[in-house]
Structure 1
Amino acid sequence: MGFETKMLTYGEPDDEKTFVFQDPLEAIRSKCEQTEHCVHAKERLEMCEARVSSRSNTEEDCTEELFDFLHARDHCVAHKLFHNVK
């Protein structure tokens, strides 16, 4: 997901330029989701979601697995994000 800004320049209407800005947080999150620890946590979350969705009457939810995955991803992001922000 990026932000698009259209900027008109002086001259002909054909001179319109499009700039796409990408949020560095999204790029770093996607890289961190590929690390070994995050992949393992995501697999546990997906297994839990499959188990819960296969049952018709259950009180189980996957909150713990979701928080484990988000914690692992955010831990990775925290170490990399501020090196990219100026």
Structure 2
Amino acid sequence: MVYEEKMITNGEPDEVPTSTRVTDPLETVREKCEQTEHCVHTRERLEACESRVGSRSNTTEDCTEELFDFLHARDHCVSQKVFGSLK
């Protein structure tokens, strides 16, 4: 039984050194796209909605539309840029 436990944990490192980590190009492109003017505008609308909804104790409003608008704007930008970074 002890041998089996060592086999399971022996092959997986606890922490990957920073020098060998591979960054996901999708995450990098998403971060860049979130800085574009259109994404900044839709994020501001989302944050305004979240603060408005959060300040009320009893409301039926949610920020689904604003969230989808932000995600759509970001993903539209990402779709144009991500394929250039793939091999």
Tell me the TM-score range normalised by the shorter chain.
0.7 to 0.9
5+ residue gaps, structure 1: 7-16
Size of the alignment, in residue pairs? 73
Which aligned pairs between 1:9-48 and structure 2 lie closer than 5 A? 18-48=19-49
> Which has the higher relative contact order, 1 or 2, with Cα contacts under 8 A spaced 6 or more apart?
2
* Structure having the larger proportion of residues in helix: 2
Please report the TM-score for the alignment, with normalisation by the length of structure 1. 0.80
Task: Report percent identity of matched pairs.
Answer: 68
User: What per-residue deviation string (whole Å, max 9, x for no partner) do you get for residues 21-51 of structure 1?
Assistant: 0000000000000000000000000000000
Q: Which runs of 4+ in 1 moved over 2 A?
A: none
Q: Which amino acid aligns with 1:68?
A: D
TM-score in terms of structure 2 length? 0.79
Task: Report the structure, 1 or 2, having the larger strand content.
Answer: 1
